[in-house]
Structure 1
């Protein structure tokens, strides 16, 4: 790992020649430049497709066995991990402990910069210890520039516990190496504003986390077709979405869909199973449990 005062050669710290006159551009030219540079995030995801797929497979396997997924980072990288973790329960009805975000500085660092805390490798290791991470778990270390000691300390501690480790960075491996199970490099090039990794690096990291968590939940049976059948019905918008999913996938009226949803204790997945198989709630619950929550497999078991 480069010394903390020797990072100038890192890809994320270099100056972008296309934006060297940034302060002299018209507003429209500035917007166009950002748009052009942001296109590189899509290319970077395409280049990382294989390690991303491997990360999904390993994480899904771990979660099926009762493991948990942890994102850990500092600053923007850490906040993105916390955001992705926070969105899993309402989207997929996952339990809050299943996907967790760990941010250097804790909750306060979500709204107030505490970047100095990223330099403490021991704090990263302590975060792993505090959450009693084991060989069943997956730890994703996120650091745009690749050098964050907090993240490296956490990954080293996680490896010592036998956990699956994944590294996400926006610098090539020959600039910063990492001893992990899956190494994901999202190479978007120098930022429009030199060194500001909340820009392209932040955007491409969000894209990667979207793919990782959604891909894992698809493999865990949280999705039927392209519908979020495990959506948590916790407000009017999500209640409406649940009814529309039921109507779209069945021949039910909105009123009938609403009645079925209540019969299933507001579980879209269970409601669909009950409708398609004629099973009652308890039998449907048991059938889903027998098939690890996979609706398609549960329906096939009845209709085979």
Structure 2
């Protein structure tokens, strides 16, 4: 069968002579040869989500010169979400089917299992720990007593948000796991999900192996039972994704789901992302918005049904946040309005974005402080690392800070912080469930990666990270002069900002006292709040989005997400970690990201080869083959790992590979890794290098 990446399967690098690779002194490794020939199902550059968006094409040039214009550019891509959501307003049948399934699960006391990988895995955690658990936990005892005979006890436990690698993967993805359908099946079993439970797999690209393993594993439970009915199974099994079917069908694993009648497909394609391939942005925004509102709609209908039965009163319903009946379509229709409110913040947001970018450029660090917005803030912060090649969150045993970003929440210690974060105790992977199946994996690379990652996925991992706003955290990684503290207040938390007894004011006082800078983001309706930093000109961003008839607070979290996504991306564009609108600092930590890195190398080298100024000086030449780009990538990966092990975070695989190729051709000799890195450091990074190399 012809695969989607067949056009890039140039295997000439496996021959004895390749002039370009000979010039570079590169011999394709066995891993590279295997990747090009046998891992075509992970070469995903044909996907819509991997294409460059025309509205952000020049982001890396715009953001440093005109930051408000750069932010406007980023937010303009969210208009694609509004257009897609409006299509669901016109035909809500698929989202309604999803809501019906959640309603049925509640009434039948079944589990609702939301599974994802990477950014969508963090989305799954947010479904559980930001929307679902807090809603049911805040219900008073009298109403809860009325509900339990009809819905059962511990309703808050009913929705499970799980990600590939479990809770430890919230910190950073675990190498090898994403590429395995096996782990999705094993985690399904680990959580005791059985036929009749609702299973919702969320995948940005529509091709994530682990997630596909989950939904196919759930479908197998139906097929193995007597009297299998595909139409009935499709009422319980869902697949949410963000690429057109015709683009995904050439990939075997995607096709196995898309063509399965027993699984309901909800296609949420919005098109290319604001940053090429960065599905942490528009893809997960629409997925979170659609899924969270479907769940909220289901809860509202369940509660209204109990009013009709005389179990609850209309006063009870009002106290539960559903005083007015709002249709699912009306909830979805609200996206355009909340996006408009986010866009209004650009003038003030630009001040915070510049302040944080300057903080990092000057060698300082940021600390975000959040409670209700904790997971949304945490997700944006941790997603910066793989997207822009930043150090991962620091462990408590780190001898010095490496991660530019950390997040604190009101808690007395690390265990209490995890409880505040998740709404439950930390869950790791139990090695006894996973080790033997992993050991039986045939592929050498995947087997080794999975077994290595398993050692970093257990319950003990919770004690390596501390997000508490505690004396221990302040002593360990507290603010220094020039650092930045950013507070995130959601809804009525803004009333605490001026209260000298509140944790918000204490946080501001700690940073103010350390001669650190401050910033504030408020999400909620009402007047701008008073707070410690206001009189000193600290940036204050206020998103005017309330939660009337939105008891889950979906719109407030979505607004905060879009703002933080644009903010952190614009910071990195100002710091030169974006080229055009491509993530050239991506970390190739799994098979999908190796494919993305390979394609980015080819994309930028080919742009130079096609430039008339380069051709005038160096002549025309064949475009870089995919196999050549991959061989150079695999050659540079060990060099970067060695640099990182010695504390040098300046090297990035894609940038180094591009410079090695172009400099070697320009000079007519082999340019070493060290020379390429020195060229990047002294030439304004990859942006500066690419701007000049065409005329050198």
Q: TM-score, normalised by structure 2?
A: 0.32
The worse-fitting range, judged by mean Cα deviation, of 118-127 and 169-178 is 169-178
Q: Within the alignment, does 1:144 sit opposite 2:204 as a pair?
A: yes
What is aligned with 1:5? 42
User: Structure 1 residue 227: deviation in Å?
Assistant: 3.9
Tell me if 1:204 matches 2:286: yes
TM-score by length of 1: 0.70
Please list every run of at least 4 consecutive aligned residues from structure 1 whose deviation after the TM superposition is greater than 6 angstroms: none
Alignment gaps of 5+ in structure 1: 239-304
Q: 2:99 aligns with which of 56, 75, 85?
A: 56
The runs of 5 or more residues in structure 2 that have no matched partner are 5-39, 138-153, 223-232, 249-254, 308-313, 323-422, 424-491, 494-696
Distance 1:159 1:203 in 2: 27
Partner of 1:141, secondary structure, is strand
Paired with 2:112 and 2:321, the residues of 1 have a C-alpha distance of 18
Deviation at 1:101, TM superposition (A): 0.8
Contact 2:55 2:77 in 1 (8 A): no
CA contact (8 A) 1:133 1:161 kept: no
Cα distance change on mapping 1:230 and 1:131 into 2, 3 Å? farther
Q: Deviations over 1:261-286 (max 9, x none)?
A: xxxxxxxxxxxxxxxxxxxxxxxxxx
Q: Deviation at 1:45? A: 2.2
Provide the residue aligned with 1:293 in structure 2.
none
Question: Across the two proteins, how many residue pairs are aligned to each other?
Answer: 235
1:89 corresponds, among 133, 153, 164, to 133
Looking at structure 2, the residues matched to 89 and 107 of structure 1 have their Cα atoms a distance apart, in angstroms, of 16
Question: In 2, distance between residues paired with 1:98 and 1:112?
Answer: 26
Does 1:220 find its partner at 2:260? no
- CA 1:195–1:203 in 2, change beyond 3 Å: closer, same or farther? same
**Which digits, 9 at most, give the CA deviation of each residue in 1:242-261, with x for residues without a partner?**
xxxxxxxxxxxxxxxxxxxx
Mark the CA change 1:228 to 1:107 in structure 2 (over 3 Å): closer, same or farther: farther
Give 3-state SS (helix, strand or coil) of 2:238's partner. Answer: strand
Say if 2:164 is the partner of 1:104: yes
Taking structure 1 as reference, are residues 227 and 170 closer, same or farther at Cα in structure 2, changes over 3 Å only?
Answer: farther
Q: How far apart are residue 137 of structure 1 and its match?
A: 0.4
Distance of aligned partners of 1:28 and 1:230 in 2 relative to their CA distance in 1, 3 Å threshold: closer
Q: Matched residues in 2 for 1:79 and 1:228: separation?
A: 30
Match in the other structure for 1:121: 181
- Cα distance in 2 for residues equivalent to 1:107 and 1:155: 20
| Residues 138, 165 of structure 1: 8 Å contact kept | yes
Name the CA shift for 1:124/1:24 in 2 (closer, same or farther; >3 Å). same
Q: Distance in 2 between matches of 1:116 and 1:46?
A: 37
In the alignment, what sits opposite 1:244? Answer: none
In structure 2, what is the Cα distance between the partners aligned to 1:89 and 1:11? 34
Residue number in structure 2 paired with 1:174:
246
Query: Do 2:113 and 2:193's aligned partners in 1 also have CA atoms closer than 8 Å?
Result: no
RMSD of the alignment, in Å?
2.7
Deviations 1:219-257 (A, max 9, x none): 2217969845289xx9xx79xxxxxxxxxxxxxxxxxxx
Matched residues in 2 for 1:146 and 1:166: separation? 12
1:187 shift after superposition: 1.5
Match of 1:229 among 308, 311, 320: 320
